[in-house]
Structures are given as structure tokens and as C-alpha cells.
Amino acid sequence: MILETVLAFLLGAFGWTFMEYVIHRWLGHDPRLRPNPFAAEHVRHHGEGNYFAPNWKKVGAAIGTTAALLWPAVAVAGWPAGLGAVIGFVSMYLGYEILHRREHTHPGVGRYMRWLRGHHFHHHFTNPRANHGVTTPLWDWVFGTYAPAGMIRVPAKLQMDWLADVETGLVQAAYAGQYELVD
């Protein structure tokens, strides 16, 4: 029962990565599916850079998702596995929210996290039709929307606080190989 619950948790977390891609790509960027509540917040996030939907909306989404998924998951897999899957899904969603905010507000820690941040900022500043995955590029590879980040040209008005030296206003040396500020 423990192994089954752990596997269900991991499957739920994996399920979130797919849902993250679906929500971001289609609800956030497909004009045929607008208007919707996610798109309104997402467009504002792209336009203002450091804007994030209020935490009460994110907590509400987590509670609503838990309520919507719990009974079907328990009906299909039983209590331990069903609950494990839902907890995995919602935990990964909350992890996504933390990771996404940190990508914008803090320098990346570790090689993969710096690479993943570049993957995400390529989406923000270079090509909004590519790189919809924030926690993983897996679904971008599957659906053919992956694009290598290359040099990311960040509009000065949208620059992240960690990117530029406060005294000179220039991209910090550590990021100069991947980021460029433009007017």
C-alpha cells in the first residue's frame, strides 16, 4: 500500500507537469480560448514582468483542484492511492508557483535551474509560442514547441532585479553570456 501510494503521488506530480503545459500553452496563449481567468493574469504577467497573480487566487486554485480531483481519484484508485495522486498533483502545482516566482526574482542556483530559467525567459522575451513548460521542458519536446534559449534580449522596462548591476545598469558579468538588455 505504501509503494502504491508513493507511485500515485509521483504520477500525480507528473500529471501536473502536463497540465501546466496545457494551461500555459492553450489557456494562456491561444486566442481561440480567451477570455478566461488564467489568460487575464497571464497576459498581465507577460506585460509587467514582475506581476504575479495574488496568492489568494493560487490558494483558491489549489483548494478547488483538490476538491475537483479528490473524489474521482479515490473512486478510481481507492483512498491511499487516490489521495496520494491528488497530493502529488497539488504539491507539484505549489512547487511550480514557487519555482516560477523564483525564476523571476532570484538568480538561478545550480546548472539545471539556470538552464530552466533561460528556457522560461526565452518564452517571455524571445518567442511566446515556444517553451511553455516552467518546471520541465518535457512537454515542449513532446509537442514540438521546444526552442533553445540562446541569447535572451530582455526589454529594460521588464528586467529582473537580479539581472543588472544596480550601479552601472548593465547586465551583470555572470549573466552577460545569456542575457542582453534592450530598450
- Complete DSSP assignment for 41-109: HHHHHHHHSS----HHHHHHHHHHHHHHHHHHHHHHH-HHHHHHHHHHHHHHHHHHHHHHHHHHHS---
pLDDT at 49: 79
Task: Read off the pLDDT of each residue in 135-159 and give the average, rounded to a whole number.
Answer: 97
Task: Read off the pLDDT of each residue in 164-179 and give the average, rounded to a whole number.
Answer: 94
Domain assignment present for residue 176? The answer is: no
Query: Residue 173 — pLDDT band, cuts 50, 70, 90?
Result: very high
Q: Would you state the cell numbers that stand for residue 83, as one nine-digit string?
A: 489521495
Domain assignment present for residue 85? The answer is: yes
Domain assignment present for residue 178? The answer is: no
Domain assignment present for residue 91? The answer is: yes
Burial class (CB in 10 A: 0-12, 13-18, 19+), 86: buried
Instruction: Give yes or no for residue 158 having a pLDDT over 90.
Output: yes
pLDDT at 179: 97
Domain assignment present for residue 67? The answer is: yes
> Structural domain tally of the chain?
1
Q: How many CB atoms lie within 10 A of CB 107?
A: 16
* pLDDT digit string, tens, across residues 43-89: 999 999 789 999 999 999 999 999 999 999 999 999 999 999 999 99
Backbone angles phi, psi at 167, to 5 degrees: -80, -40
Domain assignment present for residue 118? The answer is: yes
Instruction: Write down the pTM of the prediction.
Output: 0.94
Domain assignment present for residue 10? The answer is: yes
Range of the domain at 34: 2-149
pLDDT at 50: 86
pLDDT at 108: 83
Domain assignment present for residue 17? The answer is: yes
> Could you tell me which residues come within 8 angstroms of residue 86 by beta carbon, excluding any fewer than 6 positions away?
12, 66, 69, 70, 73
